[in-house]
Structures are given as structure tokens and as C-alpha cells.
Structure 1
Amino acid sequence: FPWMPIARDEIGVAEGQGDPRISQYFATATLGPQPSSVPWCSAFVNFCVTRGGASGTNSALARSWLSWGQNAASLLPGCIVVLSRGSPALGHVGLYVGDDGQGSIRLLGGNQHNSVNISSFPKANILGRRVPSSAARVAAPPAPSANPGSGFNLDEIPAQRRAMAMHVIDSFAAAGFSKVQQAAALANAFAESKLDPRARLTTAREDSVGLFQLNRIGGRGANHPAEELMDPDANLAIVIRDVRNIGEFVAAVSLKDAVDAFVRFFEAPADSRDNPHSTWK
């Protein structure tokens, strides 16, 4: 869904320093600008959906989304999920990113512990899962490709990690990056973590976590809990947000140039576990 890259770019906005941005979320609802002490989960979803080119509910009420669009036959990445919360009049709304396999789902949403982040919620609290009416034709997942990897040779990647490899490729593709940048990102993730989203390296100088081993000690993982960085979508969102601003990476037309730009400008070369050139060609 087109609102997901927008939502991922907002990860990290928090009450306090982020209040001006939260006011912009409220501007997409008829309630108008409000302080961050007013629940803003629905305002956030309205902001993302409208920025993505669709119409929202224009309401700051989470349960307003129960009458938006149409019911999704199943939980689809990016579909809008409405949860019960407290009294019958209350609720919470966010964007579905995955299932943790323990009776909970992960939602990318606003006003989750006072910030935009990916958090887990009990699946039993789901009131509705919504997609736009025009999305009926994409409500079912696409059929598996006869050529996995969309032209990429994934033979060097262990079979159990190929789905994660495709997730990295698809996330960079959805963000508008070319196959050169997609391959460079995959090469780095494979070199850093072997595509294990829960990989973690802790030394005196670093606490590197997740797919891209984002360093929580003064690095790009700073101010992010380890559990958040172990969520592949959260890890990818941070990487995609930051590499958008690396001109050399965006402009690269060869895999070598893209990998060099990634290593040189996104991460300290000393942090690289392997040479990505030798892993992905």
C-alpha cells in the first residue's frame, strides 16, 4: 500500500520534540491541530493515507476506520487494523506489518508509547482490518513467482533466508530504488547479519542489532531499543530513510559504486563483517 513508505519515514517522531509534526498529523482530521496529549493514532493514519494519495476518515477517532473502505479477507501488510482499547468508545488504529507468532500482531502506528514505532498488540483485540474499496483486486497475495528474486540469483543465500532476502529487495523496490541499489542493500544485509533479523553483536564499542547491524552506541541504531531493531521492517525503515539522503548511493549506476557508497557513507568501513563485493555479484 502506498502509505507504508510514508509511515516508515515517520518512525521516531515522539511527543515533546516531535509535537510540531504531530500537529501536522492532526491537520488531516477535522479536529484540527491539537496538543500531543490528545490521542493521535487516527490522526497519524489519516496523515499517512492522505499523503499516499487516498482519502482517509478525516476523524481523530480510531474506530472511525471501522467504516472506511472494506473489510480485508486476511491481514495484509499495510492494511489498517482497528483494536479495542478500554471502554467501548475507545480504540487504537495502526498499520499491520507482521505477526510475532505468539498471539500478537505488530503495528506501525502513532501514539504507541507516545511515539511512532512498531509495537505488538494482542491479536484478540482486533475489531477490524480495512483496505480501500479500490484495493479489492489486490486483496489476495500475489501468486509465487516462477523466478524467485525478480531476476536476482539467490543461490548463495541459504534457503531459510531467501524469504528475508526478497523482503529486503521488495522494501527497497517499494521505496523507489533501482535494482542496483536493491542488490547493494541485500549484499550489505547479508554481509552484516547473514539476513538474521535478530542478529546482535555486542562489544565494548558497539551494540549492533538486526538485519543491517545498526549500532546502538553512537551509530544509526542510537535511541532505538534492541527489540525494535530486531524487527526487520523497523530496521529497513531506518536504513531506507537514511540512504535516501546519500547522493552517491542514489546516483550509483553500478553495483560496485552502490556498495562503495553504502559502506563509505552509511556505515563505518571498520564495522563491515565481510566485503559485500565478494558476497553479491
Structure 2
Amino acid sequence: MSLPVAYAWLGKESAPRMLLEGLKTYGTIEAPGTEDNPVIMAWAKEVGVPRIADVFTSDAVPWCGLWMAVVAHRAGKPVNPNALWARSWLSWGAKVSGEPKLGDVLVFRRGQTSGHVGLYVGEDATHFHVLGGNQGDAVSILRLDKDRLLGARNFYATAQPANCRRVFLKAGGAISTNEA
């Protein structure tokens, strides 16, 4: 599936690796009803953490953290052993000092105790534009309110890629309020 016109520029980015891996999954959709998408189900085994495969038994289980785990794994980064719990990504990698940048992992509040995790692709005055799994039951790019951000993380074993930067976008597109 091709990216929306507003995000087509992402196809020309050369890094960061997690963003590139995440973009390859764009458009993956949950199966309707009681069926499970075999692609999403296979991610639980692919990441190589037994506890994840034991817990993730249906694509009806919130899977934003699973998506982030498979993206990290494919990018050669360590997998968060508690990946299915979005807020656990707040302890992964290094805390971002300053403002989030292209490809950073963003962790959001969802209700009092739940969360959502995705990758920064840009921002406007009030929202982050986030590539993530389980956004509208798909891997998609949606806008999430900046006030919901709990933290930003990244994991660079060497230097941060040169194209990691803040990206300012027009305030348009769907706004997500609940990613469950």
C-alpha cells in the first residue's frame, strides 16, 4: 500500500533504520471479526521473546507494542522484553533530550494506565504525526495530541543518522484519540 500524498516524502528518507522498517509494514490491517491476520500473528514469534508469543494470541489484543518490537528487531535493535505494554517502551533505549525527531519512539498516554507507542514522522502545532501499529486497526500514520506524550526514546549504537530532525507538517489528516 502506498503512503498518503502528505507523507510520500518518507519514501525518500535514507534513515533512521527503525523508520524504514516501520514503513515497510504500512497498510497492514487487522483481520475482521474473529479471524486473525497471519502477518501480525507471525510478528509475535519473529521477535524471539517467548513471553510475547505466549501472550499475543489474537490480533484483537492491542498490538502497537508488538509492531514496535518487530520494527526494532528488523532494524537490528534489541527487543523490549515487555514490548506488548506500550508504556514499557519508556525504559527502552535512551531518553531523547530536547524535542523528538524523525524516527524517535514516542510513548503516549491512553487513559489512566494504558498507552500507545509509535514512531515520530513529524509534527504540527498541536499534534505529532505518528507511524504506528494498531492505529485504526492498521499500521498507519495518524495525528496524536502532543499533550498525551509521556516520553520519547531512541537507540543508536553509533551516531544518530544525519537526517534525524524535527519535521514540521501541515495540520491535516486524521486525529487519533484512542488506539485500542
TM-score by length of 2: 0.72
Matching residue's letter, 1:87:
Q
After TM superposition, the runs of 4+ consecutive aligned structure 1 residues lying more than 4 A away are: 139-143
Query: How many Å apart are 1:25 and its aligned residue?
Result: 2.4
Instruction: Check if 1:31 corresponds to 2:52.
Output: yes
- Residue identity opposite 1:138 in structure 2: Q
SS at match of 2:20: helix
Q: Given residue 116 of structure 2, which amino acid in structure 1 is its aligned partner?
A: H
How far the C-alpha of 1:133 sits from its partner, in A, is: 5.5
Q: CA deviation at 1:142?
A: 7.3
Deviation at 1:56, TM superposition (A): 1.8
Q: Distance in 2 between matches of 1:109 and 1:96?
A: 9
Q: Structure 2 unaligned segments of length 5 or more: list them.
A: 1-15, 175-180
Superposition deviation, residue 134 in structure 1: 2.6
Q: Show the counterpart of 1:14.
A: 29
C-alpha RMSD of matched pairs (Å): 2.8
Which of the two has greater helix per residue?
1
Aligned to 2:103: 78
Contact 1:98 1:105 in 2 (8 A): yes
My pick for the range that moved more, 46-55 or 16-25, is 16-25
Residue pairs, 1:18-167, within 5 angstroms: 19-27=37-45, 28=47, 29=49, 30-32=51-53, 33-59=56-82, 60-73=84-97, 74-88=99-113, 90-101=114-125, 103-132=126-155, 134=157, 137-138=159-160
* CA distance in 2: counterparts of 1:141 and 1:115, whole angstroms: 27
Alpha-carbon shift at residue 139 of structure 1 (Å):
7.9
The unaligned stretches of length 5 or more in structure 1 are 144-162, 164-196, 199-225, 229-281
For normalisation by structure 1, the TM-score amounts to 0.47
Q: Does the CA contact (< 8 Å) of 1:81 and 1:129 recur in 2?
A: yes
Work out the CA distance in 2 between the residues paired with 1:26 and 1:5: 20
Shift in alpha-carbon separation, 1:142–1:15, aligned structure 2, 3 A = closer
- Following superposition of structure 1 onto structure 2, how do residues 259-270 of structure 1 map, counting pairs within 5 Å? none
Q: Matched residue pairs, number?
A: 147
Confirm or deny: 8 A CA contact 1:72 1:139 kept in the other structure.
no
| Residues 134, 10 of structure 1: alpha-carbon distance in 2 compared, 3 angstrom cutoff | same
Matches within 5 A, 1:220-231: 227=173
What is the Cα deviation at residue 9 of structure 1?
1.3
Percent same amino acid among aligned pairs? 29
Which structure has more relative contact order (CA 8 Å, sep 6+)? It is: 2
State the secondary structure of the residue aligned to 2:27. Answer: coil
Structure 1 position 5, deviation (Å)? 1.5
CA contact (8 A) 2:102 2:163 kept: no
Q: Give the Cα separation in 1 of the matches to 2:101 and 2:112.
A: 27
